[in-house]
Amino acid sequence: MNALLLALSLASSEGTIEKTLEAELAETRTPGAALVIVRGDEVVLSKGFGVANVETGEPVTPDHLFRVGSTTKLFTAMALATLAEQGRIDLTRPVGTIAPGLPGFVSPLTAHQLLSHTAGIKDQPADFGLHDESALAAFPRGWGDDYRLAAPGIAFSYSNPGFALAGLLVEETTGKPYADAMKDLLLAPLGMERATFRPTEAMTRPISQGHEVPPEGAVKVVRPFSDDARQWPNGFLMSSASEMGRFALAFLNGGRLEGKEVLSPAAIARVSAAHAEIPYDLPDMKRPCYGYGLFLHTWDGVSIAEHVGTMPGFTAILKMAPDERFAVILLANQEGVTFDKTLAAAFSSFRKEATSTPPEPKPVPMTEAEMEAVTGVYRNRWPVTIVHQEGALVLEQFGGRFPVTWLGDNLFSAQAPGGRPAIPFRLIAAADGRGELLQMFLWVFKKEEVAP
């Protein structure tokens, strides 16, 4: 394809993507978004849509700051991987030898386990909390036994506190506050001059406010602005789409940006390697696994490396196809919007039609004793209950009741209502032999012990 035809093709594709995004913003009542698309070694689209604040009507630009939520985890992982490549930290060394004063069950954990979500630390929301930066150092040192979910290495279980501890390792290794260390290691070399963890710095820049969009009634600005210095490393970076585009450019091009190496290629390889298995497919993810701060999977035949983040009033999407050197960065000022149609339009030239559908696994009969053995309440961020009723198993969560089918070995399926896909989960024997762990979605849930 000659240069003119390629330019026309790209322009046509970009027009479709923009129209699709505008339609999804209207459908979801999202006030505004910023979109950046990277192809090869250049930015092919950078544009703002809608407003940054419904109260002022200020238009969104690609330079407006947004909370990027859990996409921050990739930056924390890149920082530790960079320090490892510099020989300043060993990711397999017990964290207690790096950060003194940690609880006894935390000290033997490793940075590798924290970054791959295999440390067995419980999850908890990370939205609002303390503003003093010293809170990060105090947070993991104050954990009680309730933070211990499972023995390390047993299974993947997503943990925001685990990444907070990973951020503390950045502090301890560099001898600098986390925010300063991140600037030195990543943000400054990448030219991400506006990106920051500090709200008092962000407020001096053009910044989008997060919005609450009720089913009925007016869209409102979320107040107060979310902040919790204890958990900055797992979800509190504020960045613009244009600067996230700089990160994607470097990441997809061997660490090089504008003719200079700004990221370690070996560090990129570390975070991009598959470190933890997720033992069942997730929505739009086939054969998923986790690197360091990255979900790795195939999407209609395309190899994808991505992370999505949500915070009160914000959604951030960083979706990359490394083999194609292609990435989409989409930052929006409403929480939990998936933008499926926009992403499908952006990746349409790479995705392939599925050639075959794997057969549905067949149910396996269970005895009454087998059903009784798996009943109980399992807890992590929320409770999941399995009950044995009238010769059948039922899973209860969020007020819903879902019939359970055993598929053999330790794999089960809970049937969602309304024709929605079934919810796979598995049961894992705990290391101490006293009960089970339930692995579902991105989490492990620990079975409550019943008093004799």
Contact predicate 195/128, CB 8 Å: no
* Cα R_g (the chain), whole angstroms: 22
Rounded to the nearest 10 degrees, how much is the dihedral formed by the CA atoms of 447, 449, 450, 452? 150
Contact predicate 174/83, CB 8 Å: yes
Contact predicate 190/257, CB 8 Å: yes
Q: For every one of its 452 residues, what pLDDT tens digit does the chain have, with 9 covering 90 and above?
A: 444 444 445 555 778 999 999 999 999 999 999 999 999 999 999 999 999 999 999 999 999 999 999 999 999 999 999 999 999 999 999 999 999 999 999 999 999 999 999 999 999 987 888 899 999 999 999 999 999 999 999 999 999 999 999 999 999 999 999 999 999 999 999 999 999 999 999 999 999 999 999 999 999 999 999 999 999 999 999 999 999 999 999 999 999 999 999 999 999 999 999 999 998 888 788 889 999 999 999 998 899 999 999 999 999 999 999 999 999 999 999 999 999 999 999 999 888 866 566 677 788 999 888 898 889 999 999 999 999 988 899 999 988 899 999 998 889 999 887 778 888 999 998 665 556 899 999 999 999 875 44
Assign domain 12-358 to a CATH class: alpha beta
Q: Residue written as tokens 């950078």?
A: 46
Q: Which residues pair with 121 in a beta bridge?
A: 148
What is the secondary structure of 151-177 as a DSSP string? -TTS-----HHHHHHHHHHHHHHHTS-
Task: Please report which residue ranges of 41-124 form alpha helices under DSSP H.
Answer: 72-85, 111-115
CB count in 10 Å sphere of residue 198: 19
pTM summary value: 0.93
- Give CATH 2.40.128.600 domain extents, the chain: 368-447
What is the secondary structure of 18-40 as a DSSP string? HHHHHHHHHHHT--EEEEEEEET
CB count in 10 Å sphere of residue 79: 27
**Whole-number Å distance between alpha carbons of 312 and 318:** 18
How far is Cα of residue 307 from the mean position of the Cα atoms in its chain? 4
Q: Which fold has domain 368-447?
A: Lipocalin (2.40.128)
Contact predicate 77/275, CB 8 Å: no
CB count in 10 Å sphere of residue 220: 15
- Give CATH 3.40.710.10 domain extents, the chain: 12-358
